[in-house]
């Protein structure tokens, strides 16, 4: 093949010679042979971020029990079902039975692919049937809700989970009281002890009470705060978000 030029009013483009085209075609070929695999034409850059496509399907599945909370005296938060009719959120969200009694628990508050809101379901709490909270240091509250929302939206099975520094954690939440969102970038764990997990995954006011998931979509913590917070072992201050380890909550929680 000969080189040739295409000339327009201001631009001249010269086609590469045949041997250059041949080389580039080999480099970007989508067909991988055994020889190609050994040549390492493709690269993992820093961390390996490749995941099975089922990762997305599982994320959608575990998002369904995550609910938007509207408090009767104003304020919004997040919570999630841990049984067909039991919601887990923060103590600073439900400080008393009365605060839970007037709250509205809304599932499927989210947008579709076209940006339209989907139909949602709203439930009332039944704190006289079940209510338990713990302020410091665990900052959790469990409350029964009227009707078994979990039969429609599912619920998250919780158990103590291992979590380590540099693990990735994803948070499904209602940031700023808005429709359901997920934070799953720049999401490394920076500190762990028996009670607390600190991470740089993004949240906003309204995200309190959100489930913190590992990359296997297992609940590892209950998100509760963020900002310039102390690292418990050193009291050094870091700009991070923080959750309560789910195992610590389970040990204190009443039987469901």
Tens digits of per-residue pLDDT, 56-86?
A: 999 999 999 999 999 998 999 999 999 999 9
14 and 87 belong to one structural domain: no
- pLDDT 10s digits, 189-206: 999 999 999 999 999 999
234 and 196 belong to one structural domain: yes
| Pairing, β 86-89 against β 12-14 | unpaired
* Residue 160: inside a domain: no
DSSP state of 58: H
Global pTM? 0.84
- State how many domains the chain has: 3
| Helices and strands of the chain, counted as H and E runs | 6, 16
116 and 27 belong to one structural domain: no
Q: Quick one: CA dihedral 5, 6, 11, 17, positive or negative?
A: negative
Q: Which of 237, 210, 240 is nearest to 227 (CA)?
A: 240
* Residue 217: inside a domain: yes
68 and 135 belong to one structural domain: yes
Q: Which helix (H) or strand (E) holds 240?
A: strand 237-245
Q: Which residues contact 243 (CB under 8 A, 6 or more apart)?
A: 196, 197, 198, 199, 212, 220, 221, 222, 223, 224
Token couple for 58: 């599982």
pLDDT at 25: 40
Domain termination site, one of 153, 180, 202: 153
214 and 132 belong to one structural domain: no
205 and 146 belong to one structural domain: no
- pLDDT 10s digits, 109-154: 999 999 999 999 999 999 999 999 999 999 999 999 999 899 999 9
User: How many Cβ atoms are within 10 Å of 230's Cβ, its own excluded?
Assistant: 14
33 and 66 belong to one structural domain: no
Contact present, 80 and 156 (Cβ < 8 Å): yes
31 vs 82, more confident = 82
Q: Which residues contact 124 (CB under 8 A, 6 or more apart)?
A: 103, 104, 105, 145, 146
* Residue 35: inside a domain: yes
Task: State the residue range of the domain holding 11.
Answer: 5-39
Token couple for 101: 């009694």
85 and 129 belong to one structural domain: yes
Q: What is the mean pLDDT of the chain?
A: 88
Q: Model confidence at 38, in pLDDT bands (50, 70, 90)?
A: low
240 and 188 belong to one structural domain: yes
Dihedral of CA atoms 222, 224, 225, 229 in degrees, nearest 10, equals -60
41 vs 8, more confident = 41
* Residue 50: inside a domain: no
* Residue 159: inside a domain: no
Give the C-alpha separation, 150 to 80, whole Å.
Answer: 10
Q: Quick one: CA dihedral 144, 148, 151, 152, positive or negative?
A: negative
* Residue 162: inside a domain: no
CATH number, domain at 225? 2.40.10.10
Mean pLDDT of the 8-36 span: 46
pLDDT at 40: 64
Q: Model confidence at 4, in pLDDT bands (50, 70, 90)?
A: very low
Token couple for 121: 């379901």
Q: Model confidence at 37, in pLDDT bands (50, 70, 90)?
A: low
Mean pLDDT of the 9-34 span: 46
Range picked from 9-18, 33-42, 171-180 for highest mean pLDDT? 171-180
DSSP state of 68: E
103 and 34 belong to one structural domain: no
63 and 137 belong to one structural domain: yes
Domain termination site, one of 153, 185, 215: 153
pLDDT at 215: 96
Mean pLDDT of the 176-192 span: 97
DSSP state of 254: P
193 and 120 belong to one structural domain: no
Q: Model confidence at 8, in pLDDT bands (50, 70, 90)?
A: very low
Residue 216, pLDDT > 70, answer yes
């Amino acid at each position: 093949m000969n080189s040739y030029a295409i000339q327009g009013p201001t631009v001249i483009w010269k086609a590469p010679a045949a041997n250059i085209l041949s080389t580039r075609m080999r480099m970007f070929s989508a067909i991988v042979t055994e020889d190609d695999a050994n040549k390492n034409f493709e690269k993992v850059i820093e961390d390996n971020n490749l995941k099975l496509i089922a990762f997305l399907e599982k994320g959608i599945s575990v998002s369904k029990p995550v609910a938007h909370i509207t408090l009767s005296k104003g304020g919004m938060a997040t919570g999630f079902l841990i049984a067909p009719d039991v919601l887990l959120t923060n103590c600073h969200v439900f400080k008393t039975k009365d605060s839970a009694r007037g709250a509205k628990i809304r599932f499927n508050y989210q947008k579709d692919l076209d940006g339209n809101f989907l139909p949602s379901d709203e439930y009332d709490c039944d704190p006289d049937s079940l209510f338990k909270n713990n302020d410091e240091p665990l900052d959790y509250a469990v409350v029964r809700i009227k009707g078994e929302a979990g039969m429609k939206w599912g619920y998250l099975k919780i158990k103590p989970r291992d979590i380590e520094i540099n693990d990735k954690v994803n948070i499904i939440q209602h940031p700023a009281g808005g429709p359901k969102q997920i934070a799953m970038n720049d999401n490394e764990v920076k500190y762990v002890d028996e009670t607390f997990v600190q991470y740089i995954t993004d949240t906003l006011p309204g995200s309190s009470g959100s489930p913190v998931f590992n990359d296997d979509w297992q609940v590892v913590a209950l998100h509760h705060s963020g900002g310039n917070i102390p690292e418990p072992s050193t009291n050094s201050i870091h700009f991070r978000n923080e959750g309560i380890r789910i195992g610590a909550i389970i040990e204190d929680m009443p039987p469901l």
